Structure 1
Amino acid sequence: MFKKLTVAVAAASAMGFSALAVSETVPSPLGDFDVSMTATLASDYIWRGQSQTAGEAAIQGSLDVAHESGLYAGIWASNVDDAAFPGNTSGADIEVDYYVGYGYGFTDDISADLQLAKYTYPQASEWNGYEIIPSITAYGFTLGYKYGVETGVHPSYTWAGYEYELPYETTLFASYGYTDSKGGSEDYNDWAVGVGKSLFGLDVTLTYTDTDISSADCEATYGKDDYCDSNLTVAVSKSF
């Protein structure tokens, strides 16, 4: 597995802890490629502190291909619940994301990544969108920025994260993010802290998430006041 690609491709997946747990190196005349697939079962799909499945379980999967040069591409999918999208009555029940990017490792501890991601909802195209995502990681700390490419409105998300390797194949991680909707909806902060561990060939994560969205604002946006509440999510992933 290419050391300089680890952070780059892991950042592309919502379950970054397990995104590159296993990979297959494929030689070719154009250089070596790393190919990995991951399947995840989670008690909820949390996006920036908010449930995308209305508090229900999520089944997710990804396919990542990374070239030794640092270029990579992938696809990620999850079930969603249209109730988690304000004003959406289309019955959307799936999200499919596509991404391409370039990651480079300056040293074993410092790397940078630039990614273009497209988010699609086959039954609710009004929610489709693009983001340009630069990030830099150094000694376990990551600072990143997501710039929404939309006509007239360019929402953004800024986040900082930290991962620390504990003994016994255990990882401690935390993040803090700020959503700037640029007038599209309410701006807010979210945060998360969790732990991940490899057990019997599976990657298990336990994550606590929360936001500073008030119950009143949450109900005004989603029709319910619990979509933005604190959440304790369990996820189990298997990489192939």
Structure 2
Amino acid sequence: MLKKYAQQLLTASLVMTSVSAFAEESTTESTPAITVAGSMAMLTDYRFRGVSMSNRDPSVQGALNFAHKSGAYLSLWASNADVGAGGNVEADFFVGYILPITEKSFLDINYADVNYPGTIKEYHTDFSEFGVNYNHSDLVTAGDYFTAGVFYSPEFAFKSGTEIYLSTTYKFPVYNSIKLVSSLGYTKLEDNEKFAQAFGGDGQQDDYFDYKIGLGADFLGLSSELVWIDNNIDSDANMMKGSVVFSVTKQF
């Protein structure tokens, strides 16, 4: 039977933007010790690392983020999800620390706890992951944004053993608020058998690549993306097939 997995590390841009903006203002006396930010998003498909976590159905997601002036933060994130083990909700929490490097770059060091309430306990869908992200704005030109990250789970979803994920994203301004958005990721599990437990397939893989390419724009206080997302997992399962995804996010 095909084993499914799911995970979401939250809308990373929301946390990084709010925390980095907080860091820029932290030298002023009027800056509060803790700031609160959040977001609501609607998507035609909940995609994470190239795989549909909603079985190619629409998704509604919400995040609430608490950032301290020291750089520490706590984030709560939730979405509807279909991981094939009962239940229909994903509820995660994240703790992390923003370490400034320069005025335009910083490290985001974090821990994620991923949970699927209501799933069958014997499937072991819940898991945790540690991550480090390097973030840099205005890297090549004004208005662009680059990230590179590495993530590690000692026991991935469905008890599929150790997992390593490498990722990079890049946003490049095209015209006014319109940007080219792109990402490339690489997932490695410890062996073919463990990979099949987490992702299915024919048992011949222990790793895969995922990518995203498309356009993003900001308008009327909303952020939107129209992108193509795909992966090279050798499986005919619906959730593994590539698709066009449209999303709209409101930050508050």
The Cα of 1:167 is off from its aligned counterpart by 3.9
Q: Residues 95-121 of structure 1, C-alpha deviation per residue, up to 9 Å, x if partnerless?
A: 011000001222122211110000001
- Residue 145 (1) aligns with residue 143 (2): no
The whole-number CA distance in structure 1 between the counterparts of 2:209 and 2:221 is 35
Distance in 2 between residues matched to 1:152 and 1:22, nearest whole Å: 34
Label 1:28 to 1:75 Cα distance change in 2 as closer, same or farther (>3 A). farther
Residues 1:38 and 2:39 aligned together: yes
* 1:145 partner letter: V
Q: 1:63: which partner in 2?
A: 64
Q: Which residue of 1 aligns with 2:91?
A: 96
Bigger shift: residues 151-160 or 115-124: 151-160
- What is the aligned counterpart of 1:235 among 230, 238, 247? 247
TM-superposed CA distance for 1:166, in Å, is 4.0
CA apart distance, 1:171 = 3.0
> Structure 2-normalised TM-score?
0.76
CA shift for structure 1 position 191? 0.7
Q: Determine the structure 2 residue equivalent to 1:54.
A: 55
Unaligned runs of 5+ in 1: 1-10
Following the alignment from structure 1 to structure 2, what is the Cα–Cα distance between the partners of residues 133 and 74?
A: 14
3-state secondary structure, aligned to 1:122:
coil
CA contact (8 A) 1:41 1:57 kept: yes
For 1:71 and 1:28, locate their aligned partners in 2 and report how far apart those are by CA, in whole Å: 19
Whether contact under 8 Å (2:42, 2:61) holds in the other structure is: yes
Matched-pair contact (CA < 8 Å) for 1:193–1:207: yes
Measured after TM superposition, the shift of residue 164 of structure 1 is: 2.2
Q: Distance in 2 between matches of 1:228 and 1:162?
A: 23
Note the C-alpha offset of 1:68: 1.6
User: AA paired with 2:90?
Assistant: E
- CA drift of 1:227 comes to 2.1
Corresponding residue for residue 135 of structure 1: 133
TM-score calculated relative to the size of structure 1: 0.80
Q: Distance between the aligned counterparts of 2:15 and 2:33, measured in 1?
A: 19
Counting matched residue pairs gives 215
Matched, 1:211 2:206: no
The SS at the match of 1:236 is: strand
Runs of 5+ in structure 2 lacking a partner?
1-7, 23-27, 140-144, 196-204
Q: Considering only aligned residues, what root-mean-square deviation do their CA atoms show, in Å?
A: 2.9
1:58 Cα deviation from its structure 2 partner: 0.4
Pairwise CA distance, 1:57 = 0.3
Q: Where has structure 1 moved over 6 Å in runs of 4 or more?
A: 20-25, 27-30
Distance verdict in 2 for CA 1:106–1:164, change over 3 Å: same
Sort the Cα spacing of 1:42 and 1:148 in 2 relative to 1 into closer, same or farther, 3 A.
same
> 1:145-187 deviations in whole A, cap 9, x for unaligned?
1100328821111111112234422332211111112122141
What is the Cα deviation at residue 137 of structure 1?
A: 2.2
Aligned twin of 1:5: none
Q: SS of 1:227's equivalent?
A: helix
Q: 1:142 to 1:180 in 2, by over 3 A?
A: same
Which amino acid counterpart does residue 250 of structure 2 have in structure 1?
K
Distance 1:36 1:147, change over 3 A: same
**Alignment equivalent of 2:169, drawn from 161, 174, 188:** 161
Identity %: 26
